[in-house]
Structure formats: structure tokens, C-alpha cells
Amino acid sequence: MASHSGINDKEEMTMQTFAMIRHLVCIPLLLLATGLSAAEPAMSADEASVFARVGEQAITLEAYQAALQAGMRTRFYHGKVPEGTLASYQREIGEDIVRRTLLLQEAARRKLEADGAWVEERLTAFDRRKADNPDWVARREELLPELRLEVEKQSQLQILEQQVRDSVPEPNRQQTQDYYRAHPDLFTEPEQYRASILLLKVDPSSPTQVWDLAQGEAENLFGQLREGADFVELARRHSGDRTAEQGGDMGYLHQGMLASVAEEALAALQPGEITPPLRLLEGIAIFRLEERRQARLNTFDEVQERVGQLWLREQRDQAWQNLYEQLRATTPIEVREDHYLPLPAPSRDQQSGPIDSDSSPAN
């Protein structure tokens, strides 16, 4: 295979393999380039060929560069990293590789084995999808062992994560009550309002004359409503909205569900009042405010089950993050920073930092 973009044949093969793996198991490509399996010892490679050492395990520069190139191709359009972000992206790749290496080492310490059935299922599915791909067929026997190894690693990581998450027990009543009191915003129903609409539909691409005609008709209907005409009846007869059969009743809404111009107009109304004709994307509309419901904090008993679910998810997320932080704090890690580009200098605003009000000049 001819090399290109400064990448040798071996690196190109590695990146293609990573791309296949990512397509197979649907996980971030960046996490698939440790260079060694978790059980392998430190390499006796020349120091220049080593990107990082995590405990006694060496990560090759080749593996890091392959992950970087493949990640760039995956995340960025045409593989082009936006100007000024390559240095930080290099560090993101490096940190992802270190993280995965640490977690695989922990899986090995716990003697966690891959789920053989899960691995075979994904390899078989991938093999079936690629049956008509000449490149895969030609290189299947060459690539399959490496593909299998990476899928097994992913299985080990999934088993490790599940084990850590399952170690957090269900919360007791006191824990859920404390969580409920500490996070009232999570259990508060937002303010709602019920509104009705009378919409004279206009295609957005219509000429000005069509919009003007709809505006004139809406002004006429608005005048009838102000003189006491029945909104429900007019909506049934004239509205082009899907709510016409219900007299324009849109049900209960909350902020963000209507166009801003409609929400602003409705916010100024009292129940029973109507807006003047408003131009929307889909036509000219008149709204009537029917009712308002103030924001309401649900009682603990009403949301107890959801409180427990949120508490458990948060605690399990924290347990998984704590494991990584503990591994990073207790494992010797050396990363060759010279393989990264220098980070851009901070802007003048970042350098100056927040302004101290006490340092302002006296009048």
C-alpha cells in the first residue's frame, strides 16, 4: 500500500484497523490506541520511540501518532484541525490514551476477562457487514487478530465500569431526602401557560403581496375579536393551524415552545386577552392567553422514585471518575511533552484576569 501524508504503511494499517474497530463497537476512536495490551510489560524500546510510560507499561510514539491522525480524520472536516486548536487536541488524545491504559491495567489487576459471547457477536456482525468489501476480504486474516484484541479490551473496560458502578448501593430514604432538598430545581415544574392560536398560514417564500393580504385579513379578525367575536368560532373557521378543530387550543406550553415574538407578546397578557396580529415564519397569528400556572416544586413523595434514580446515577458517575483519579494519583506517569506543540499564549484578557474593584483609581 502506498503511503501518504507522511504516514508509513504500518501506521496506515493501524489507523484503518482503529477505524474498523470504531465502526464495530461504536466507541470513540481516540480510546483505542494504547499501543500494548494491559498485560504486557514495559518495552525495551529506544526512548525516542516512546510517547509515555504508565506504571511499567510503555506507550509507543507510533501508537500515539496513529491515534492522533485517526482522531483528526474522524472529528474534523477533511482531517483539518481548526487553527490554534491542534496543541490542545494533541493533549486531549494523550490524556485519553493514558486514561484507557490506566483502566486496562486495573482490569488486569482485577483479573477481569472479556465477555467472549459479546466479542464474538460484534466480530461476526462486522464480518457480515464487510463481506462485500474487497479490502476487508483481502486483509481479513491479517487484521482480524488485532481487531479481536481491541474488542476484547473494550469488553474488559465495560465490565470494569459496570463493576464499579454496581458497587454503589441503592440510596436510603435519608440520602434521597437530602438530595431532594439540595436540588429543588431538578424537581420543580416550570411555569406553564395555556394559549390558543388563530393562524392565517402563508408560505414563507410567498411574495410581499400575499403577506400583505394575510396581514389585512388578520387585522379584520383582530377587530372582530375586540368587538366581542368568539375566538373559538373564528379559529375553527379561519385558522390554518392543526389546532383549528379545537378552536385553536394549543394546550399547556412552557418557555421555548413558541417563537420569541409570540412568547414576548403572551407574557404581557392577562388570561382572556389577545395579542395583535404577529408575523411568524408560517404566517400571521393572533394568540389568546387562556391560563397561567406558576412554577411548582413537586413534593418529595411525588418524585421520590426519580430522586433515587438521579442520586444513584450521580453517585455511580462519581465512583467511576474517582477510580480514574485514584489510579492517576498512585501510578507513576511520564508523558513526553516534547511530542506536543506549545500551547498558544493566553490572550491579553486572559492574562489580565478579573478586575479587582478595590484597585480602581479613586475619583
User: Per-residue pLDDT tens for 140-187?
Assistant: 999 999 999 999 999 999 999 999 999 999 999 999 999 999 999 999
CATH code for the domain of 260: 3.10.50.40
Q: Is residue 300 part of a domain?
A: no
Residue 327, pLDDT above cutoff 70 = yes
The residue with greater pLDDT, 67 or 45, is: 67
Same-domain status, 259 and 127:
no
Same-domain status, 44 and 82:
yes
Q: Is residue 177 part of a domain?
A: no
- Please provide the DSSP assignment of 216-232 as one string: HHHHHHHHHHHTT--HH
Q: Which long-range contacts (CB under 8 A, 24 or more apart) does 298-302 make?
A: 298/187, 298/188, 298/189, 300/176, 300/177, 300/180
Q: Is residue 357 part of a domain?
A: no
Residue 43, pLDDT above cutoff 70 = no
Report how far residue 281's alpha carbon sits from residue 248's, in angstroms, rounded to the nearest whole number.
18
Exposure letters 60-87 (e unless 16+ CB within 10 A, then b)? bbbbbbbbbbbbbbeeeeeeebeeeebe
Strand partners, 296: 189
Q: Is residue 180 part of a domain?
A: no
| Cell representation of residue 132 | 462485500
Percent of the chain at pLDDT exceeding 70: 82
Residue 279, pLDDT above cutoff 60 = yes
What are phi and psi for residue 242, nearest 5 degrees? -65, -15
pLDDT band, residue 80 (cuts 50/70/90):
confident
Same-domain status, 129 and 275:
no
Same-domain status, 290 and 337:
no
Q: What is the pLDDT of residue 177?
A: 97
Number of domains in the chain: 2
Q: Is residue 1 part of a domain?
A: no
Same-domain status, 16 and 163:
yes
Q: Is residue 303 part of a domain?
A: no
Nearest Cα residue to 188 out of 299, 312, 310, 305: 299
CATH code for the domain of 126: 1.10.4030
Domain extent for 205: 191-294
pLDDT band, residue 75 (cuts 50/70/90):
confident
57-86: average pLDDT: 88
195-218: average pLDDT: 95
Same-domain status, 125 and 13:
yes
| Cell representation of residue 191 | 411555569
pLDDT tens for 255-277 read: 889 999 999 999 999 999 999 99
What are phi and psi for residue 54, nearest 5 degrees? -120, 105
Same-domain status, 27 and 159:
yes
Same-domain status, 66 and 144:
yes
Q: Is residue 347 part of a domain?
A: no
| H or E element in which residue 312 lies | helix 300-330
Same-domain status, 154 and 214:
no
Same-domain status, 290 and 152:
no
Same-domain status, 236 and 274:
yes
Q: Is residue 318 part of a domain?
A: no
Same-domain status, 42 and 151:
yes
Residue 248, pLDDT above cutoff 50 = yes
Is 0.75 surpassed by the pTM of this model? no
Q: Is 357 helix (H, G, I), strand (E, B) or coil?
A: helix
